[in-house]
Amino acid sequence: MFRNSLITRIVVMNVILLTVGIGVFTAFHYQRDRDNMIEMTTNGAEILMATIENAIFNSKCKGDPARLHQTLAFIANNPSLLSIRIFDPQDGRIANSSNIEEISQQIDVQDMQIFSAGKSSGIFTYRGEEVLSIVKPINSRPLCQQCHAPDKQVLGVLNINYSMRGTVERLAQSSQCFTMSMVFITMLLSFGVATILVRFVRNPIRVIARRMALVEAGDLSVRMVPKHQDEISSLMLSFNSMVEKLATAKEELEQVHFRQLEQADRLASIGEMATGMAHEIKNPLAGISGAVTVLADDLPPDDERRQVVHDILAQIARLNKTATDLLKFGRPGLPQCDYLDINEIVKETLFFVAQHPEAKSVKQVTELSADLPCVWADRKQVQQLLLNIIINALQAMSGGGVLIIQTDNYCGSDTKNYVRIRIIDTGTGLSTEHIEKIFTPFFTTKNQGTGLGLAICKQLVEQNSGKIAVMSTPGKGTTFTIILPAVALPLSQREEDIDE
């Protein structure tokens, strides 16, 4: 529960960031305070060392070494001072010290290393305790040359060792106080952030989620009243606007759906009536056609009435085609699907089209893609589909033109593979108003015809799981695009093709 909570994540991230920031800030200030304390101690030690150096000079000039030892011992009474001593810069032997037991012994290695490195101070650990060691060379003065060689510039090295225990304790107390303050501030900020998020973010979001669930369940009367003027309030107002638009759209869709149901019911009734009428008309037409043909056989070859008989038979054929189209549209047969090579069907269809009278004045161009995948569809229905569209294209180019047939692979918006067929003509084209109605049953722009050709084409495409679309520009031509789902040829059929 808490792992998936936005409030918990923000608070935890806030604590982490504050902890890291405070940690870095504390470390920086700890080091700065430590450096400041060491600098203050060093400055105080330098003053003390100047005093000790004068005391050394006076005691040496007066020849009173006991007084020098007393001075060193008195100064060393400071609890922070571990030792005060003077050692030889050459061999590191202690000449004087606040601790008599150290005299004539070797100076500590760490003190000697600080002096040898040319430093004035340094920190090292001695017996588990941090020690600040300060060294200062005692330079020769003119009076000192009475007892020392004139070329000896450094007579000795003054060394003071300070204990850092008090400094460390003060730093620890300061850091502890600072850390506790920052922990309190972190907790206070986290609590404040959590309170603000809970009140102004989580609670309104929960309200929005509950209202959205009601809308999802179908209740479009839900509305929200913002309590504050902020981004969440804007979101609530947008939600209200969205629900209002959804309610309006729902009402419009219900009205459109009701009209469509009424229209579909009427069309279904008309379709049933048209199918029944077509079925009843075809049988008498067949009888009439046969009777007229028998009568025509009794007429002499040069009888003018033969032309009348020819016209009658042409009109009967037209009525028969209309009745057949009505039957096909009203009672479409189930597709008998098989694996089809679209390129092969296009070539066969163009062979039949070549016999059409209007094909003679049109130039045909085929651009068939190689290695085209198969489709699973009804061969006769696909051929009828192509034949209907190509004949329409020829009729749109009665004065001549170019007919282009293209096939290729096509990847749809659903990432599936399709075989695409494009039939392009350079005819008169269609207006936008006509394009919207072109697949509507009984709609036609010709003087003759039932207006069922393209409606049947759309029906055939959809029966074979495909789609059809049209684009046209008045005066320039029309393009019909058909896509059918591509399928892989079964392995057994592939082996048969290889054997052949």
pLDDT digits (tens, 9 = 90+) for 362-378: 899 999 988 899 898 88
Q: Enumerate the β-bridge partners of residue 264.
A: none
Mean local confidence (pLDDT), 179-202? 80
The pTM score is 0.42
Residue whose entry in the numeric block shows the structure tokens 């929200």? 224
Q: Is 465 helix (H, G, I), strand (E, B) or coil?
A: coil
Backbone angles phi, psi at 225, to 5 degrees: -110, 110
Question: Half-sphere exposure of residue 298, counting CA atoms within 13 Å on the CB side?
Answer: 4
* pLDDT tens per residue across span 420-469: 999 999 988 888 877 777 777 666 666 555 556 677 778 778 878 888 88
Least confident of 194-203, 216-225, 397-406, 440-449: 440-449
Which residues, including other chains, have CB under 8 Å from residue 112's CB and lie 6 or more apart? Answer: 87, 92
Q: What is the pLDDT of residue 351?
A: 85
Is residue 84 pLDDT above 60, yes or no?
Answer: yes
pLDDT band at 416 (very low <50, low <70, confident <90, very high): confident
Cα atoms in the Cβ-side hemisphere of radius 13 Å centred on 484:
29
Mean pLDDT taken over the chain: 77
Contact 486, 373 (CB under 8 A): yes
81-87 vs 477-487, strand pairing mode: unpaired
Give me the CATH code for the 6-171 domain, please: 3.30.450.20
* Pairing outcome for strands 362-368 and 154-163: unpaired
What is each CA distance from 150 to 146, 157, 208, in whole angstroms? 8, 18, 96
Q: Which of 8-12, 37-41, 382-386 is predicted most confidently?
A: 382-386
Q: What is the DSSP letter of 131?
A: E
Tally of CB atoms within 10 A around 24: 10
Out of 162-166, 211-215, 377-381, which region has the weakest mean confidence (pLDDT)?
Answer: 162-166
pLDDT (mean) for 275-299: 69
Closest CA to 408 of 389, 426, 425, 422: 422
Collect all residues with Cβ–Cβ distance below 8 Å to 460 and sequence separation of at least 6: 332, 378, 381, 382, 384, 385
- Of 273-277, 350-354, 391-395, 396-400, the one with minimum mean pLDDT is 273-277
**Please, are residues 346 and 329 in contact by the beta-carbon 8 Å criterion?**
no
Domain 337-499 has CATH 2.40.30.10: no
Same fold, 6-171 and 337-499: no
Q: What is the pLDDT of residue 66?
A: 65
**How many angstroms separate the Cα of 315 from the Cα of each of 145, 288, 312, 399, 444?**
150, 11, 5, 26, 19
Per-residue confidence (pLDDT) for residue 150, from 0 to 100: 59
pLDDT for 479: 92
In the numeric block, the tokens 């009475």 are attached to 146
Distance CA 89, CA 153 (A): 11
Q: pLDDT band at residue 1, thresholds of 50, 70 and 90? A: very low
Tens of pLDDT, residues 238-285: 888 888 888 888 888 888 878 777 765 665 566 566 666 665 666 676
More confident position, 139 or 384: 384
Judge whether residue 26 has pLDDT over 90: no
CA 479: distance to chain centroid? 37
Confidence grade of residue 2 (pLDDT, cut at 50, 70, 90): very low
Give the per-residue pLDDT at 95: 79
On the question of pLDDT at 155 being above 80, the answer is no
Instruction: Count Cβ atoms below 10 Å from residue 359 Cβ, excluding itself.
Output: 18
The widest CA-to-CA distance across the chain, in whole angstroms, is 173
Give the whole-angstrom CA distance, residue 279 versus residue 327. Answer: 7
**Cα 81 to Cα 294: distance, rounded to the nearest angstrom:** 145
Pull the structure tokens for residue 263. Answer: 């229209």
The owner of tokens 């913002």 is 226
**pLDDT given for residue 273 in this prediction:** 64
- Domain limits, the chain: 6-171, 246-331, 337-499
Q: Are 329 and 441 in contact (CB under 8 A)?
A: yes
CA 374 – CA 245 distance, rounded (Å):
46
Which pLDDT band, with edges at 50, 70 and 90, does 82 fall under?
confident
> What is the rounded CA–CA span in Å between residue 208 and residue 242?
13
